[in-house]
Each structure stands twice: as structure tokens, then as C-alpha cells.
Structure 1
């Protein structure tokens, strides 16, 4: 006798139920419909902001000032210069005078960094160099600019005029150097190489996490924490790279690069807040959604004010910085909630360490922005990278756990609908289908009964009786595979529901096929044939109150066939 290879074994069922336990309920829980709708709106709004930010940056690179090229010739050492005197023209404008221009060699240039300032360099009365803010909407500032000015040998003095574009820049301290531009550039490349590599790794890790989430998205039964953190890592890496000297020196279009940096910072709070909420399993929505909405409003208002010329990004950065601090505070709240409801676990320790790193980095960068005390250095960037690696690894590992729990939860639901012995759908599943489809027009229903099951049990034992049932189930499933759903609705009773009408000639062919297969499943030494009685009916909306009435008519035909086949032996 051929044994039916049914989909689920008893040992598998017991194992799956044992490993699921309490976690299954958690995995199947869902947030309220209103909360889900708001979460989707926030996600869509953020996607729109991302697209607009990319478009705006592209337009700025297309239309904003490109800056000034510099000469590269022989290599000499860099040397800092101090102006002989500084003349204050007005509260925004200062002139720096260098009277001894003989210090400049033939291949030397004057080099200094300006920040959101107009710059004019005169040698004598001759204008050598000019960096000026444009007049259109994509050119509201000169940004942070590395100025390289090639000297002329015949001149009496050198004058550098600097005009602050915003009040916050008036006290910005300038440092002047002489040397060869190429040499200075290569020195910065060597000094900044570590920062660039760390920033690139941040972006790469974010892309990997994003791709990982996309790959598993359809199979996940949990939130989007991996997506949010991947996006945060990409944005953080791009912003960090934009702060490096290599990027600032090689990208000539400084207004666009400056605005891109501000846009990246504006985009940071939302994915970080949503990640903290999802990763630390915080149920609340009001605080996080409120912060996200405020971040959207802030981004839109800042861009409008900047493009309209009312206030530049530099002047509206304070609200964005407050949002970043609020995002860090939300992480503290999420950690506290997680500890109170779940307890200390690896997620808590990883994010506590990361929160400390982010806080230090945030203090360093805000200090550089407001009090010019120095910016984020390689140590801060390595700390950020360390945090991103730790949390990214933890998030990826948790995602795999969630995926496994989701698979197990689906399996448990599936097992609840299946008959343990045969792997077919059980009576409960059949009853649910009948409730959902009381009058299914155009449906064929077939019923089956096993003729000699009692004799098999009494003669050969219940183990062979179970094998008898499984073999019959396999025959029914194979014959009607792809056409309908097969149910075991009783001890030796089966039912097949086909969404459509099967013609009488085709039906007879299937019954003949079943009888041929029965012979293959009957061992000669057993002396008990495998015999499946069958009957069928079509749902008739004029004579059947529901599908159960159709099944009763199919049962009548099945019992006639049962009697006929027993008489034939």
C-alpha cells in the first residue's frame, strides 16, 4: 500500500505549537485602523519630502553659482598669515590688509575658508577674486567656501573684503594661509580620508539595510524598523560626507551643497523617531506622530522662507536643531517605555550606548554651528559608525526573529484549518466556507465516503485504518488538484468544492481515474480493497436554500454509488 505524503506531521504540529507559545499572540496583534492610516500618511508625506528634497538639490546644482577655479603648479608648504590691520566698514563688512606681498612666491596663492560671506580680494586697486551671492531663488548664500586666490607679483598691498550675509556670521573668525593650492588640497585629502571612508560606510550600511528590508518586506509580519534605520543611516552618512573638506573643496557649487546639507538635517528626525518607536516596540502614536508632523511643517516652512528670500536655511536652522534634540528625547522616552513594559534586553543596551554617542556628536556639531568651537571630527564619525553597525546588526537580527515568528504564526493558523491526519482542510474550515458562501452560484460540490474503513480497523487495526484514510485523501486531492478545495468533514467522509461547473462526462472521467488509482493503493495480501464512494451535485438557487442542501443531494448520489460498488464487490 502506498503511504500518503501529507503536508503536516503530528511531530511538526507539536513542535510548532511548543515553540510559539506566548509570542504568537504578540505577533498577531495589530494597531488600530486609525493609527495605521496615520502611519501610512506620515510615510507617504516623508516620501514626498524626500522626492522634493532631491528635486530641489538637483535644481540648485543646475542653477546656483559654481564658484571660482584655482591654480595648481609647484608644491610648497602651507603657512598661516596674519593681517597687518583689520578695518570695520559696517556691522557686516570687514577689510583685512596684508601690506607685505613679497611673502608670496611665484606659485603661491592666498587660501582661506569663508562661511556664508561675500568675498572680494584686491591686489592694489585690481580685483583679483570675487565670491558673491546670486540674485535668484537657488542662490541665497555662498555657503561654506574654500577660497584659493592666485597672486600677481607686482602690487603694493593685498586687501580682502568679507561681508557677512547673516547676522549669525558676523563674528566668524577667518584664518589666512599662503601656499600652493594643489599641495593644500592633497594635505586635506590625507587628513580627511578617514572621515570620508566612515561616511561612505554609513551610506553603504544604510543601503544594505534598506535592500534587506525590501527583500523581506512581503514576508514580514512586523513593523518597518529596518527601513527607518537604513534611511537614517543613509541620510546621516550623506550629511557627514558633505561636512568633509574633500567634498567642500571638490564641489564647486557651494550654494547648492550648503542647502543640501540643511535639507539632509531636516530629513533626519522622522526616520529616527519612527525607528525608535518601532524598534523599541512603543505602542503610543500621539507623541511620535506629532513630532513627525511638526518636522514636516518645519521642513516645508524652512524651504519656503529660504526660496522666498525671507530667511535663509542658516537663519531657520534652530527649529531643525530643536527637532533633533526632541528626537533624542523621544529615544529616551522609548527606552524608558521599553524597560518598563518589557525589561532590559539587548535592544536597550545597544540604544543606550548609541544615544550617548549621538548626544556627544550632536553637542559637538551644534557647538560648531553656534559658538564655533569645532565640529564633528573623526572620533565622532567613528562613534556614529559604531552605533550604526551595532543597531543595524541588532535590527537585522530582530527582523529575522520577527520573520520566523510570523512564519510560525502563519503555520499555526494554517494548522488550525487543516486535518492533522490527512493534511486536507478540516470540518471547521468547511463550516467557515459555508458561512461565508451560503448560496454560491455556479458551484459544484462532491462528497465521498470510504466503503471498508470499519472492516480495515477491525481486521488490521487502527494504524492501518489511518493509512487507509490518508491514502483515500491523497487520491481525492490528486484527482481534483487545482480545481477545488478538499475537506475531511468526518471520520471517513470527504468533500470537494469546485468554483465552477464540471460537466458530467468530465466528472465520469475523474471517477474512473479514482477507481484506477484505488487499485494501486490496495495491497494484494490485505484482502481489503480501498474503495471510495462518490457523488456530486450543482448548487441550484431555485431548489437549494444553501450549499448544504446541495451537499445533501450529492450525498444521496454518493450513497447510491456506495451501495452499487459494494454489490459489485
Structure 2
């Protein structure tokens, strides 16, 4: 199959996969999203620190200040008269104990025991199953913050049929779900494969770092968007994984940059990068210890982490760590990936803090752009690695070709005298038997003198091809120079020597087409086992003597000319 056909097939398959993915997302969204979702955004009564306030619209409503630990916020209203029987109320809450009452009857509670044991309560999408006759009843949601700065506004509150309780949210966020799962699976496969092949080869460190980064960012994406609830409703565990994966993500990225920029940037820039990576690793370690010992939970260490990420991004953007004029194509892909992701992450970091702490109500502060930014970033990193791998393979192949050329006869493609000596050295270090066939063509001088050296070269090439074909799979074939050839046969193929020699003689009889003279050669075979304690060179000398003895006894006009 031609390269052009392969390219057409590859392009067609890629386009088909893109189209199928597009239809898959549409089908997933259409089949999973419910048209019966009822918003409960309006007419809530809000109680904060004993103060009661009517809130026309609760979604996105900004509180005067962030809610701190042990502060309680209460939301209350009457359920609509058209509330579905056995419906589900859905809302998102951050780092809080949640209790829901229906006409003063407790119907849902989360987080009490976790908070009492000083463990992280976590964040998540709460699903409260209402009673069969909830329409018109009074609903009250009590939210007690378990961390300082737990939240400063509210997410939408919806009611929907219980049959769509989970699928509606997941289908509405199908793209983020796909991106997160893809990044996790890609990361896991990359890490496992690189870990296995690293025992046999080197050069996979970069791809392993890309895999770890993809794994951490994919995990964070699922946790931050609460799509992790496809697999786990343990908010404490989900939130711990969310912060841990976020804090770990700068480490593989830092190691990747260190590996790619080693020796390419000034010393102070290098040590600046090393310092940032070391600080990130120490920060992840210390905050994890504090969290798991319940001394200081992850949410309380988020702001310093944001500052660290901002400083690191600015340093990489303006110090020349990521980009320089000497950057190759692999480095350029890395630069585009880091800068594009950095812009998205930096913008998202600003979005998160501005809309959380500065009380701007015109935007839903919990909408993140990170999933698509992460996907494009990882894909650019993969492209960077593929370019690097291609260059690495090309350089290695070039070196191997150059190294092989040292041992290859340029005229015939057989091994040369230098390779013969290398094989002799190997044979001298072994105890096994072997045989050497010394071969000398007849009539080469006559052909060179009468027909020219180009015809003589053609005669050598034809014989070399016959010799190679006859001893293929039996032994190594070598041109020592001029009209002298050697075949070296190891112990496991000694019984095939006669067959190979007979094949060579038969092919010489039919291979003289277009040549001015018949193909003839004298040969001699010597075995180590017959020569006694002798080096490979000594066995070759013994075979050479037998070859000359055969040449003397041959009745050929080519020998006498």
C-alpha cells in the first residue's frame, strides 16, 4: 500500500472519529438531559447570622462576606404546587454540613459525623429525595460552614424527576466528563507503559511526566466539576483527591520542563526552575501531611497555592525558561502548550478568586474553562514528545547507520575485513566449534585488464550476491578485499555448510548471464575442532591453504590468464 493511500486512509479515519465523537456528545446530551428540570431560584428567604433577608434570585447571589467556620446560613421557601411526586432537589454546596427539612421534618442530613471527628466534610452535588406529596410544603436548607471562607454565594437549586436525578447533570457536562476520563485513562496507560519499557530502554521520562500530569489534571477536572460523582458520592474522599491532584500537578510539569531545558538555558534560570519545582513538591508534601493529620485541611492552603502558581507562571513567561530563539520544534510545541494552558489556568485562577471574594454577580464563578485548556495542553505536550522522539530515533538511526558503515563493504554490501576481525575476536573468546570458508574468485585480474574495472566491479557484485544468498541463515559473509571472500559459520549451522557451498556452485553456473567470463571460485573449509587449539586467524589460514590447494588443482583458463 502506497504512502499516499495510507495518508488518505489516516485522514479519513481521523475525520470520521471527530464526526462520531460529535454525534456521540449530542446523543448523550439529548438522551440524558431532562426537559422537566424546574428551577427553584426565586423567592427564597435567607437567614445569615440571625438576619433575615428576602432574595429574589438565589443562584449567584453574593453574600456580604465569605462564610467562615461554624457560621450557619439558612434558605427557606415553599415548594411550588406543581412539584413532581417523588422528585429530587439538586444543589451544590462547598465545605459544609447540610440539613434539609420538609415542614420541619428532617429529610436529609450530611456531614455531621465527619465534622465532629475533625475530618474534611468536602464539597459536592447534593441530591435530596422529596416525599410523595411535597408540593406546597415548606422546605428549609441549613448550611453550616466547616472551613473558613467556605463559600460566598450559592449555586442553582433545581427540582427534577428522580429518574433523571443523576443523568441530567452528567449529560449536561458530557464534554468535561469525557475530557476528564480521557485524561485519566491516557495518563494511566502512559505511566504504566513507560514504567514497563523503562526496564528495557531509556528516553521515556518525558512521556512518563506527561502521563502523570494528564492523570493529575484529569482527576482534578472530574473532582472540581463534581463529575467524580459518577463513581463516588463520598464528598470527603472526592474533595481530598481534588486538592491532592491539583497540588501534585506542578511537579511532573516542572520535571518535564527541567528535562527539556537542561543545558539550553542560563544557570540562574535553571536554578530558578529547580527552586520552583522543589517548592511545589515540598508544598504538596507539607499540606498533605497537615491535611491527613487533620491539622489544617486542604481548602485552607489553597490561596498560597494560587499565589505560587501565579508566580511560577510569570517566572516561566518572562524569564525565557519556556522559550528561546534556539528552541527546536519540540520545544515550540511545549512552549505553545505551557503558555496556552498557563493563560487558561491564570485566567481561571483570577476568575475563581475575583468572583468569589469581590462579589461580582454578573457571572457564575463556578464555571471553569480548565477541562478544554487541559486537553489542548496535554495534546500539545504529546505532539512535543512525538517530535522529540522522532528526532531521537532519527539521530540514533543515523549513528547506527554510520557505525554499521564502518563494517560494511561499500561495493558489495557484505561485511568487510574490520568486521571479520571483530567476529574473530568474539570467536576467540568462546569455546564453541566454528568453520571458516575461504573463497577466491577466478579471473578478476583478467576481466579488469581486458574489460575495465567497472566490469570487474560488476563481476564482484554478482558473485557477492550469490555468496550472500547461498549462506543466508547459515553464516556471515565477508569480502576481505579484491577477489577474496570469507564465510564464517558457527557451531549450530555446521551441518549446513555443504548445502550452502553446493548452492553457491549451482548459482554460479546459472548466474553468469551478461558477464564476459564464467563465474568461478576456489574455496577451502577449515573447522576449529580439526585444527586443535588455534585462534580464529589460524583457522582462517588453514582454510586459505585448502583454497589455494583447490585453485592449483582446478583446470580453468581463468586461472592461467
TM-score by length of 1: 0.68
Partner of 1:92: 69
Whether contact under 8 Å (1:536, 1:558) holds in the other structure is no
Taking a change above 3 Å as real, the CA distance of residues 232 and 249 of structure 1, as seen in their structure-2 partners, is closer
Aligned to 1:548: 537
Match of 1:118 in 2: 97
Q: What root-mean-square deviation, in Å, do the aligned CA atoms of Structure 1 and Structure 2 show? A: 4.9
Map Cα deviations across residues 126-166 of structure 1 (whole Å, 9 max, x no partner).
Answer: 43321015559999333212334437869997654433333
Aligned to 1:463: 454
Mapped pair 1:428 → 2:418: yes
1:106-185 pair list within 5 angstroms: 106-107=83-84, 112-122=91-101, 126-132=105-111, 134=113, 140-149=119-128, 150=130, 160-169=141-150, 172-174=152-154, 177=157, 179-180=159-160
1:444 to 403, 426, 435: 435
- C-alpha separation between the residues in 2 aligned to 1:73 and 1:400? 51
Structure 2 unaligned segments of length 5 or more: list them.
1-33, 52-66, 358-363
Q: Which residue of 1 aligns with 2:299?
A: 314
* Structure 1 residues 543-564: Cα deviation after superposition (integer angstroms, max 9, x where no partner): 43x4223322222222222222
- Indicate if the aligned counterparts of 2:330 and 2:388 stay in contact, CA closer than 8 A: no
Q: Select which of 347, 360, 367 maps to 2:343.
A: 360
* Cα displacement string for residues 449-493 of structure 1 (whole angstroms, at most 9, x for unaligned residues): 222211121222222211222232223323332233222222222
Instruction: Name which of 25, 31, 39 aligns with 1:77.
Output: 39
Distance 1:299 1:473 in 2: 66
* 1:535/1:187 CA distance change after superposition, 3 Å: closer
What is the SS of the residue equivalent to 2:144? strand
| Preserved contact between residue 79 and residue 138 of structure 2 (Cα < 8 Å) | no
Q: Do the aligned partners of residues 125 and 379 (structure 1) sit closer, same or farther apart at CA in structure 2, a change above 3 Å counting?
A: closer
Contact 1:206/1:230 (8 A) holds in 2: yes
Q: Is the 8 A contact 2:73 2:142 kept in 1?
A: yes
CA distance in 2 between counterparts of 1:440 and 1:419 reads: 26
Q: Distance in 1 between matches of 2:496 and 2:155?
A: 92
CA contact (8 A) 2:97 2:115 kept: no
| Residue equivalent to 1:273 | 254
Between the aligned partners of 2:553 and 2:366, the Cα distance in structure 1 is 90
1:481 to 459, 472, 485: 472
Give the structure 1 partner of residue 238 of structure 2.
257
Question: Which whole-Å CA distance do the structure 1 matches of 2:96 and 2:283 have between them?
Answer: 25
Which is further off, 400-409 or 326-335?
326-335
| TM-score (normalizing by structure 2) | 0.69
Tell me: CA distance 1:356–1:75, structure 2 relative to 1, closer, same or farther (3 Å).
Answer: closer
Kept in 1: contact 2:100–2:142 (CA 8 A): yes
The 1-side partners of 2:195 and 2:407 are apart by: 30
Higher relative contact order (CA 8 A, sep 6+): 1
The answer on whether the counterparts of 2:260 and 2:331 sit within 8 Å (CA) in structure 1 is no
Q: Distance in 2 between matches of 1:383 and 1:93?
A: 36
Is it true that 1:239 corresponds to 2:220 in the alignment? yes
How far apart are the structure 2 equivalents of 1:346 and 1:126? 65
Q: Given that residues 438 and 544 in structure 2 are in contact (C-alpha distance below 8 angstroms), is that contact kept between their aligned partners in structure 1?
A: yes
Deviation at 1:425, TM superposition (A): 1.1
